[in-house]
Amino acid sequence: MPTIRPLPQLVVNQIAAGEVVERPASVVKELLENAVDSGATRIDVAIEEGGAGLVRIVDNGCGIGADELHLAVTNHATSKIASAEELFRVGTLGFRGEALASIASVSRLVIRSRQEGCDGAELVMSGSATADISPAGCPVGTTVEVRDLFFNTPVRRKFLRTAQTEAGHVSEAFARVALAHPSRHFTLSHNGRLLHDLPPCPAPPEEGEDRAWRDRIAALFGEDLSAALIAVESRDERTEGLVRLSGFVADPKETRTHTRMQYLLVNGRAIRDRSLQHALGEAYRGLILTGRKPICFLRLEMPPALVDVNVHPQKLEVRFADSGPLYSQLLGTLRSRFLSSDLRVGASNHIGNDEDDAVGDATSGLVDWAKNELGERQRRFDDSAPMSYARHTSGGSVPAFRPFPSGGESLSMHRFMGPRAASSPTAAEGESVPMRAAVGDDAAHAYSESDDNAAPVRALQLHNRYLIVETDAGMEVIDQHALHERVLYEQLRTRVLAGPLETQKLLVPEPVDLSPAEAAAVLDARELLLSVGLDVRAFGGDTVLVHSFPAMLRRLTPGETLRDLAAQLASEAGKAPDARDVLDELLHTMSCKAAVKYGDPLSDEEIAALLAARPATENHHHCPHGRPTSLVFTREELDRRFQRI
Q: How far is CA 199 from CA 52, 185, 216, 220, in A?
A: 27, 5, 9, 11
The CATH number of the domain holding residue 280 is 3.30.230.10
Radius of gyration for the alpha carbons in the chain, expressed in angstroms and rounded: 32
Q: Is residue 423 included in any domain, yes or no?
A: no
Instruction: Point out the domain boundary residue: 339, 354, 387.
Output: 339
Q: Are residues 308 and 214 in the same domain?
A: yes
Tell me which amino acid residue 633 is: F
CB neighbour class for 585 (10 Å; exposed up to 12, middle 13-18, buried from 19): middle
Confidence tier at 498 by pLDDT (50, 70, 90): confident
Over residues 596-610, mean pLDDT: 89
Return the pLDDT at 116. 94
CB atoms within 10 A of CB 205: 6
Q: Tell me, yes or no, whether 602 lies in a domain.
A: no
Calpha distance 644→642 (Å, rounded): 6
Same domain, 135 and 267: no
Q: Please determine, for residue 88, whether its predicted confidence score (pLDDT) is greater than 50.
A: yes
Given pLDDT bands bounded at 50, 70 and 90, which one contains residue 621? confident
Percent share of the chain, pLDDT over 90: 37
- Indicate the pTM of the whole model: 0.66
End-to-end Cα distance, the chain? 80
CB atoms within 10 A of CB 196: 20
Other CB atoms within 10 A of residue 242 CB: 11
- Contact (Cβ atoms closer than 8 angstroms) between residue 265 and residue 519: no
More confident residue, 234 or 370: 234
Q: Is residue 166 part of a domain?
A: yes
Asked if pLDDT for residue 161 goes beyond 60, the answer is yes
Better-scored residue on pLDDT, 563 or 399: 563
Q: Is the pLDDT of residue 378 over 80?
A: no
Contact between 464 and 599 (Cβ < 8 Å): yes
CA torsion, points 340, 344, 348, 352, in degrees to nearest 10? -30
Nearest of 102, 97, 90, 98 to residue 309 by alpha carbon: 90
pLDDT at site 549: 86
What are the helix (H) ranges across 384-506? 387-391, 419-423, 425-429, 433-437, 441-448, 480-498
Asked whether residue 110 falls in the same domain as residue 246, the answer is no
CA atoms within 13 A on the CB side of 231: 11
Whether residues 153 and 265 fall in one domain: no
Hey, what's the torsion of the CAs at 267, 270, 276, 279, to 10 degrees? 110
| 119/236 same-domain check | no
Q: What is the mean pLDDT of residues 511-534?
A: 87
- Residues 177, 216, single domain; the answer is no
Q: Per-residue pLDDT tens for 253-305?
A: 889 988 999 999 999 999 999 999 999 998 987 677 778 899 999 999 999 88
* More confident site: 430 or 467: 467
Q: Does 152 lie in the same domain as 282? A: no
Contact 547, 538 (CB under 8 A): no
Same domain? For 39 and 153 the reply is yes
- Segment 398-410 mean pLDDT: 44
pLDDT in tens, 196-252: 999 999 877 777 778 899 999 999 999 999 999 999 999 999 888 999 999 999 988
Same domain as 76, residue 175: yes
User: Is residue 77 situated within a structural domain?
Assistant: yes
pLDDT digits (tens, 9 = 90+) for 108-137: 999 999 999 999 999 999 986 777 899 999
Handedness of CA 484, 486, 487, 488 (dihedral sign): positive
Residues 131 and 171 in one domain: yes
pLDDT of residue 393: 40
Residue 546, domain extent: 500-594
pLDDT(442) > 80:
no
CA 267 to chain centre: 25
- The pLDDT value recorded for residue 567 is 82
Q: Do 290 and 326 belong to one domain?
A: yes
Residues 561, 593: Cα–Cα separation, whole Å: 7
Domain final residue pick, 289, 314, 339: 339
- The C-alpha atoms of residue 279 and residue 295 are separated, in whole angstroms, by 13
The arithmetic mean of pLDDT across residues 82-88, rounded, is: 77
Determine the pLDDT at residue 143: 97
- pLDDT score recorded for residue 288: 78
What is the number of other CB atoms lying within 10 angstroms of the CB of residue 624? 22
In 220-280, beta strands by DSSP E? 229-238, 241-250, 255-256, 262-266, 269-271
pLDDT band at 450 (very low <50, low <70, confident <90, very high): very low
Q: Do 149 and 273 fall into the same domain?
A: no
Q: Which of 68-72, 161-165, 287-291, 414-418 has the lowest mean pLDDT?
A: 414-418
The predicted pLDDT at position 404 comes to 43
pLDDT of residue 165: 92
User: Going by C-beta distance under 8 Å and a sequence separation of 6 or more, which residues neighbour residue 46?
Assistant: 54, 55, 56, 57, 58, 188, 189, 190
Distance CA 37, CA 35 (A): 5
C-alpha distances (whole Å) from 439 to each of 445, 550, 552, 561, 587 are 11, 10, 5, 14, 12
- Where is pLDDT greater, at 223 or 393? 223
Q: Is residue 617 predicted with pLDDT exceeding 90?
A: no
The CATH number that applies at residue 540 is: 3.30.1370.100
Please provide residue 250's backbone torsions phi and psi, each rounded to the nearest 5 degrees.
-85, 150
345 falls within a domain: no
Q: In whole numbers, what is the pLDDT of the chain averaged over residues?
A: 80
Q: Reduce the DSSP state of residue 298 to 3 states and report it.
A: strand
pLDDT band at 155 (very low <50, low <70, confident <90, very high): confident
Mean of pLDDT values over 576-597: 74
Residue 186: CA atoms inside 13 Å, Cβ hemisphere, count? 26
Query: What tens digit of pLDDT does each residue of 325-350 get?
Result: 999 999 999 989 987 886 754 444 44
Say if 121 falls within a structural domain: yes
| Residue 513 pLDDT greater than 80, yes or no | yes
Average pLDDT over residues 493-501: 78
- Measured between alpha carbons, how far is 115 from 181 in angstroms, rounded to an integer? 23
Number of CB atoms found within 10 A of residue 338's CB: 19
> Residue 258: inside a domain, yes or no?
yes
Q: What is the DSSP string of 69-97?
A: HHHHTSTT--SS--SGGGGGG--SS--SS
What DSSP state is assigned to residue 121? E
**Cβ-defined contacts of 199-207 (< 8 Å, 24+):** 200/41
pLDDT reported for residue 478: 92
- Provide the Cα torsion 124, 126, 130, 131; round to 10°: 20
pLDDT of residue 561: 82
Residue 114, classed as helix, strand or coil, is strand
Predicted confidence at residue 191, as pLDDT, reads 95
Structural domain includes residue 524: yes
143 touches 121 (CB < 8 A):
no
Q: Report CA torsion sign: 170, 172, 176, 178.
A: positive
Instruction: Using the Cα atoms of residue 263, residue 267, residue 268 and residue 272 in order, give the sign of their dihedral.
Output: negative
Q: 53-67, 208-222, 426-440: which range is least confident on average? A: 426-440
| Number of structural domains in the chain | 3
Specify whether the CB–CB gap between 40 and 46 falls below 8 A.
no
**pLDDT exceeds 60 at position 488:** yes
Q: Which of 316, 339, 362 is a domain's end point?
A: 339
Q: For position 44, which CATH number holds?
A: 3.30.565.10
Per DSSP, 454 falls in state P
Cα dihedral: 200, 203, 209, 214 (round 10): -60
* pLDDT greater at residue 153 or residue 314: 153
pLDDT of 594 above 90? no
Distance CA 606, CA 434 (A): 7
Distance CA 163, CA 167 (A): 6
Indicate whether 432 pLDDT > 50: no
Reported as a single tens digit per residue, the pLDDT across 89-113 is 787 887 777 889 889 999 999 999 9
